[in-house]
Chains A and B, each alone.
Chain A
Amino acid sequence: MSDKVDITLDINGAAHAISVEPRKTLVDAIRDDCGQTGTHIGCEHGVCGTCTIILDGEAIRSCLMFAVQADGRKIRTVEGLADGETLHPLQQAFIDHHGLQCGFCTPGFLMLAANALEHNPDIGDGELLDVLASNLCRCTGYQNIIKAVRAARDTMRGAKV
């Protein structure tokens, strides 16, 4: 029963026409079929958050969805965060505040944080903590990730005024 289904994944504005088995998870399709390997895979059962992407404006775990379910929908991954050679304020803040060490969790944290700041540019520290608690990092001890996201929030807010 390996009947494949033809779907189109719209990743960062580029259309990827692929053919997948229904059982292929979205993260596997993004990486293996579309070659967009910025999104990482860790636990594959929803716990670690390294596969976090933005689907139709909402942060989701891409290991907990099948690729067929994302046919034609708007997907955003870490590859789409920078504007050409200019890093997204979050990416710059992660560098400035040492928000990463090995970098394995980073794509997930960036998409998670980007989505939270887009939904609420004035997000409070408490609510930010609730969101950032979603993902695991085995290196940084989290404090620098939190610092980086707060700093990016403040920069982005400053830039708007």
Chain B
Amino acid sequence: MERARAAPAPEKIRRASAWTDKKETMKPASFRYHAPKTLDEAVAVLAEVAPDDGRVLAGGQSLVPIMAFRLAKPTHLVDINGIKELAQIKVDGGKLRIGACVRHAAFYEPVCDGPLGRLLATVVRSIAHHPIRTRGTFCGSVAHADPASEWCAVVATLDGEMVAQSQRGERIIPAKDYFAGIMTTTLQEDELLTEVRLPMPAPDTRVGFQEFSRRAGDFALSMAVTIYRLEGGKIADPRVGIGGAEPRARRIAEAEAALRGKQPGADVFNAAGEAAAAAIDPLEDIHTGAEYRRDLVRAMTRRALDSAA
């Protein structure tokens, strides 16, 4: 005869009780944290950990979200925020030198006299939101190289230089050899971007910037940086940089050619917009078709030229 089975002892009910629950859940994967105090130390740690996907932590405003999604699972983070020598911004030899710990918010007021200070103060207002600008860094944006990074568009337009430091030494990478594609640069994994250098345009240079994004603070769908001078009423030294429309920001020679030697005005600015729209190989996604991006590039180029002062 089968023995009646005893009723099972009531299981202990475990309540997941909000914040008092001691079980720890965290979105990012584990990593080891390094907080070097000097550049030499940082470069040494980076050399050691880079082969295991060790990475630099600057403002964290791109890296931490990516880690929260576990799109990145770095095993080591080298936090450079405590390195005082990297927090400097200065004008030296006709160039603005922006250290790796200089935050977006530093550009709210012109950081230097003349057109460059004005341009950077205009552009910063389109980057993310205030509490992100208080942490995110200029160099971090340039290292991250989002196609829609405003600072990358500025660096490409002005032919800035990236200063990369590793235990193997220092090298200077011109913008044209630096941006390689979507979030891809020629910076090596053991290299720390210590500084970005922007040439100071002549005092009479006119600078313009326009971008289009669906909501304030969103990544832009297209942007244009335009720069020119007037010589005898004609456009000289024109530069047109487009960001957000292609895998990487770059100067558009066709649009610059449409401006060079011409008298500024609606027709000429339209022609430059047309040339830029025709020259790009637009990124496409489900919300933004190629033709729409071309339209935006046309409009942003024209409006940036219109606004150039």
Residues of A in contact with B (beta carbons under 8 Å apart): 1-3, 5, 21-25, 28, 31-32, 35, 37, 44-46, 49, 52, 58-61, 63-66, 68-69, 112, 116, 130-131, 133-135
Contacts and interface: CB of A to CB of B under 8 A. Distances in A.
Given A21-B30, A44-B27, A59 B64 contact: no
A119 to B, nearest CB: 10
Interface stretch (B130-138, B172-180, B232-240, B295-303): B130-138
Nearest to A61: B131
B125 A130 contact: yes
A22 B64 CA distance: 12
24 contacts: A1-B30, A22-B30, A25-B28, A32-B24, A35-B19, A37-B19, A44-B68, A45-B64, A45-B65, A45-B68, A45-B69, A46-B64, A46-B65, A52-B131, A59-B134, A60-B134, A61-B135, A63-B68, A65-B60, A65-B64, A66-B60, A69-B60, A112-B130, A134-B217
Contact of A64 (B30, B125, B135, B217): B135
Nearest to B66: A45
A69 B125 contact: no
Nearest to B34: A22
B32 A60 contact: no
B72 interface: no
A126 to B, nearest CB: 11
Contacts of B292: none
Contact of B32 (A1, A28, A32, A116): A1
Interface in B3-62: 19, 24, 26-33, 35, 60-61
A68 B132 contact: no
Given A32-B19, A49-B131, A21 B79 contact: no
Question: How big is the B interface, by class?
Answer: 20 to 34
B258 interface: no
A22 B33 contact: yes
A-B complex: 3 closest residue pairs judged by Cβ atoms:
A134-B129, A22-B33, A45-B65
Contacts of A22: 30-33, 77
Contacts of B216: 130, 133
Given A21-B30, A60-B135, A66-B64, 16 more contacts: A1-B30, A1-B31, A2-B30, A5-B33, A22-B77, A25-B27, A25-B28, A25-B64, A37-B19, A45-B68, A46-B65, A46-B132, A49-B131, A61-B61, A65-B60, A68-B35
A49 B216 CA distance: 14
B81 interface: yes
A32 B23 CA distance: 10
- Max count, chain A CB within 10 A of own CB: residue among B31, B77, B130, B131: B131
Nearest to B65: A45
Contacts of A131: 130
Contacts of B135: 60-61, 64-65
Nearest to A24: B26
B131 A134 contact: yes
A23 B31 contact: yes
A31 B26 CA distance: 13
Contact of B33 (A25, A32, A68): A68
A143 to B, nearest CB: 15
Contacts of B61: 46, 61, 64
A45 B26 CA distance: 13
B57 to A, nearest CB: 8
A25 B131 contact: no
B30 A134 contact: no
Interface string B214-225: 001100000000
A120 to B, nearest CB: 11
A58 B24 contact: no
